Structure 1
């Protein structure tokens, strides 16, 4: 409940307006039957046509006012629901983006979309309808019973007993079904995650004949979601049927009392209509309560999942207060071990130190730990044992954003967004003025390309790189780091898929980037190795060899010399 209150509080004025509109609407709904009773009784008594016309007009006005209040109330509550849940969506997304990579590695993007958007959407109805409808239904229920009490306390007591019995039954059904709906939403999230994952890999699935297996797995996920959703729906219908049975009893009691009292001369025909109308109108608040209990089931399940997600804490220490100084940074791995799971460590007691302004080449086969070292430096993970330091400062003692602000990263796979060129280069940082973006694009040789676009730097790019060559995508990635204040550059060698001209241009830009910076490059080519100051060769998570490149090359028994003799590209492929 504290979670819901937190998000409703900023919209409290809007909620108050909705409450006032609700009270006014309830008052009009309770008054309208009184007007109709007056019309029936005066008509039976032979009242003048003018009197009947005025009563009819008053009843019509009450109906129009009630409809207008209902529309305004709906507008206000819908606005309340969307504003609060959109704020919740933003907080959930920001929270997920702050979690470490071990959290995201265990979940598919589709599942996370369901957690962020689907669960928040389930609360939208709660914010916009549940609270106000439950309050309105309760007020109407109390008001109708009070007006019936004015006519006959015995009838009011009987209907009160029926309502008092109905509410605990409906609430009990609600508590019973909350865990059922939680399981149903979890199965739905797994289904969406599976669909998203298969669509993302559609090319590989087609090329390798995996469509049949994909459809089989999708069928299994759909069946699981279907079974759980069906179970929840059945329980919801049980609640509705229970309500209808109780309401039928209420109708019979009201009609029976009314006829008996009419025959005894205690009720007029208008009063019989009045009490029956109020008794029948009790069905609306009770049915609404029943329906909203189903919404509560969805909302309670969603709230539990949201609270669980918000309670998830990153494994990275995020409260560091130390600052990383300006300029080139020294890098130190001090007896670092790391494992992604409980399996064998990916890095095992790795120790090396890179002085400020020098460049290091990481060599090794796939799975040797090169990329993991990059991830530890960028603080996507923290080491299991040991410490990673920049300028002698343990990265766990520095705020995550501060660390990443001092490190530039360029990988082979460039992620582009469905946004403008400027947003793709600045990564949506509005503080970077357009002139700096244009200067950086010109610096990497993309000025003519940008000029050819219909809207310049405001032209939207395709997230799948359609229309962009691999070289242009790499140049955009380099453009990003030219806008940073990085003292350390991390590069996964970029040129394995490029033509010679683009490769030469990128090599020149990389050399420019590394000027007055420390650099670490995952190297695959001999040309790159020969430009580096130091070399570290990884094998099985250990540092097999580390030292100045020239010194290692001068030693014929070194592992680097051996790689150079047999061919780096072939040996490390």
Structure 2
């Protein structure tokens, strides 16, 4: 019962309020259909008896006809309503899984890649939604109706109910065994789908390397073996399902045949009326309906558990609701280890200037970035952003506030404008500042209104416009199943905490708008005009590596807010001349901002950083300006000498 309750809670909480009315209609339709199913055979018997006695009334025929037409119409309505529920639930789950990508960490993407997650997003959501293709209300009512059918038929003959009870025992045994085999093999097959699909995608994307450097037949066979293993499990699952279903059909046919033979003897002896026999034949599919229903319910419970486990970690969780009070980042006594090896040890760092992080590969620089974004938790210590533990700050707000210029270039198959602005609206500088001022004033009113709200909180005291503004701040959409409860929590959080209205307004406003003059200057300075309105290709396949780099740099430079920045290995695809030119542009745009620069290129660190920190074995071993560290003749000096040597080569 607990499993069934969990399924009902999961599904019902994700159906839209408008669609929930369809559930009530399905209950009504199911009730009417099953009542008619039990009544129609009785009409049949009465009509046959009346014909035998030559006193058939037209009214009886008319009622029987209307009942038959009604039940046919009800089945059509039922199918349409179930399809509506299926489409709604499938869309809601997909929307929720897509929404969660930008709001919380995702193990599937981190470990198996986007291809595996996309397979699950569409496949698992459809499989769970498919459970609504069956009318469970009709199944439950059908079980009750079948009992009535057995009781009615027992008045005419005991042969029929005894045969049905015996067949039920046999069928249940088959269902239990075959379903267990089916679920086990199907689950293994689906796991292999997740393993195989990313490898196929990798094979397709790396076809040039395979053709040029690999043994094509050998590498193809690796994929084929995965196909064979996957399909073998699917085959076993299908065979178990087919055997179970065909066995049930065979038992039904055998029972029907035995009943027919025994009934003929009873009719011949006068122990069973012909009309009763015909009525019982009409009840035959009704009394076996619970078998199909129980088999379906049992199978679907197992399927739900299997598919739910795959998406459980990626369903939307309650968001963190803190907001930073300022734009300062502070790392306090942080330590972190991988596989019992300490990567970071008691790190203390305040990002109050432009800091360059330098160290050999594998010395924890990437780990520091993940801790700053709250993507991983230190074993000891904590990272603060705006006087708040970054792990408790709403994740999209962290990403919006801390601008990130990554070595991994993300390009959309859209034109240049979309790739840089991500669909934001361009305004002149005067319009932008005026509109920002108005937005800030509106946000100030909202915060003031919330802080003066009295307990118990009443949402009716908040205008619809203000409620939407709260949802916008925390990126709350209809995918959150407890949206209204979440609203109460947010209001309580705002009441109890200090909110830096100017900083929050700057960040939120920059999500939707950009300054046209700034955009045009960036595009011109980075020499991106030639890309024009053409699409850049999936992952930027239609442009060069250097152009990808500059497009991502333009996106990084565009937002107009005073949040900190992180620059991680910039200019990886640029030639020396382009690098020097873009380095000057980057330096100009970040001159009044604080942040972190990570690069193996010492010239970039020297040019951009106010202070350089050298990390070795998880600890800060040097700190100072470029010239100071060169004079120290320690690790930084060695790294610099190697860099100069390689550059000269």
Name the TM-score, length of structure 1 as normaliser: 0.81
Q: Match for 2:341 among 344, 347, 367?
A: 344
Q: Which residue pairs with 1:18 in the alignment?
A: 26
Q: Residue 20 of structure 1: CA displacement?
A: 1.5
User: Per-residue CA shift, 1:516-562, capped at 9, x if unaligned?
Assistant: 21132223445423323222334454445321223224x16354445
Q: Which residue pairs with 1:409 in the alignment?
A: 404
Q: Residue 59 of structure 1: CA displacement?
A: 5.2
Q: Which residue pairs with 2:431 in the alignment?
A: none
**Within 2, Cα distance between the matches of 1:421 and 1:147?**
74
* Structure 1: gaps of 5 or more residues: none
**Within 1, Cα distance between the matches of 2:41 and 2:158?**
20
Moved more, 533-542 or 373-382: 533-542
**Within 1, Cα distance between the matches of 2:346 and 2:415?**
42
Q: Which residue pairs with 1:66 in the alignment?
A: 71
Q: Match for 2:82 among 77, 86, 90?
A: 77
Q: Given that residues 140 and 285 in structure 1 are in contact (C-alpha distance below 8 angstroms), is that contact kept between their aligned partners in structure 2?
A: no
**Within 2, Cα distance between the matches of 1:40 and 1:420?**
75
Q: Given that residues 103 and 396 in structure 2 are in contact (C-alpha distance below 8 angstroms), is that contact kept between their aligned partners in structure 1?
A: no
Q: Which residue pairs with 1:378 in the alignment?
A: 373
Matching of residue 464 in structure 1 with residue 539 in structure 2: yes
Q: Which residue pairs with 2:552 in the alignment?
A: 477
Q: Match for 1:301 among 299, 303, 306?
A: 306
**Within 1, Cα distance between the matches of 2:197 and 2:242?**
26
User: Per-residue CA shift, 1:25-80, capped at 9, x if unaligned?
Assistant: 233444444444455455555568xx67x776665554443332212111111211
Matching of residue 444 in structure 1 with residue 526 in structure 2: no
Structure 2 vs 1, CA of residues 137 and 122 (structure 1 numbering), >3 Å: closer, same or farther?
Answer: farther
Q: Which residue pairs with 2:497 in the alignment?
A: none
Listed as ranges, the matches of 1:24-63 within 5 Å are: 24-44=32-52, 61-63=66-68
Matching of residue 362 in structure 1 with residue 437 in structure 2: no
Q: Given that residues 258 and 272 in structure 1 are in contact (C-alpha distance below 8 angstroms), is that contact kept between their aligned partners in structure 2?
A: yes
Q: Which residue pairs with 1:119 in the alignment?
A: 124
**Within 2, Cα distance between the matches of 1:446 and 1:214?**
46
Matching of residue 545 in structure 1 with residue 543 in structure 2: no
**Within 2, Cα distance between the matches of 1:564 and 1:180?**
58
Structure 2 vs 1, CA of residues 230 and 256 (structure 1 numbering), >3 Å: closer, same or farther?
Answer: same
* Structure 2: gaps of 5 or more residues: 426-508
Matching of residue 154 in structure 1 with residue 158 in structure 2: yes
Q: Match for 1:240 among 225, 236, 245?
A: 245
Listed as ranges, the matches of 1:218-233 within 5 Å are: 218-233=223-238
**Within 2, Cα distance between the matches of 1:153 and 1:16?**
38
Matching of residue 570 in structure 1 with residue 646 in structure 2: yes
Q: Given that residues 410 and 478 in structure 1 are in contact (C-alpha distance below 8 angstroms), is that contact kept between their aligned partners in structure 2?
A: yes
SS in 1 for 2:565: strand
Q: Given that residues 43 and 64 in structure 2 are in contact (C-alpha distance below 8 angstroms), is that contact kept between their aligned partners in structure 1?
A: yes
Structure 2 vs 1, CA of residues 251 and 83 (structure 1 numbering), >3 Å: closer, same or farther?
Answer: same
Structure 2 vs 1, CA of residues 3 and 59 (structure 1 numbering), >3 Å: closer, same or farther?
Answer: same
SS in 2 for 1:134: helix
Q: Residue 470 of structure 1: CA displacement?
A: 3.6
Structure 2 vs 1, CA of residues 20 and 424 (structure 1 numbering), >3 Å: closer, same or farther?
Answer: farther
Q: Given that residues 137 and 289 in structure 1 are in contact (C-alpha distance below 8 angstroms), is that contact kept between their aligned partners in structure 2?
A: no
Q: Given that residues 156 and 272 in structure 2 are in contact (C-alpha distance below 8 angstroms), is that contact kept between their aligned partners in structure 1?
A: no
Moved more, 159-168 or 464-473: 159-168
Q: Given that residues 142 and 289 in structure 2 are in contact (C-alpha distance below 8 angstroms), is that contact kept between their aligned partners in structure 1?
A: yes
Q: Given that residues 534 and 547 in structure 1 are in contact (C-alpha distance below 8 angstroms), is that contact kept between their aligned partners in structure 2?
A: yes
User: Per-residue CA shift, 1:482-509, capped at 9, x if unaligned?
Assistant: 3263532111242242356754553344
Q: Which residue pairs with 1:259 in the alignment?
A: 264
Q: Which residue pairs with 1:172 in the alignment?
A: 176
Q: Residue 472 of structure 1: CA displacement?
A: 4.1
RMSD (Å) for aligned C-alpha atoms: 4.0
Q: Residue 126 of structure 1: CA displacement?
A: 1.3
Q: Residue 510 of structure 1: CA displacement?
A: 1.7
Q: Given that residues 34 and 141 in structure 2 are in contact (C-alpha distance below 8 angstroms), is that contact kept between their aligned partners in structure 1?
A: yes
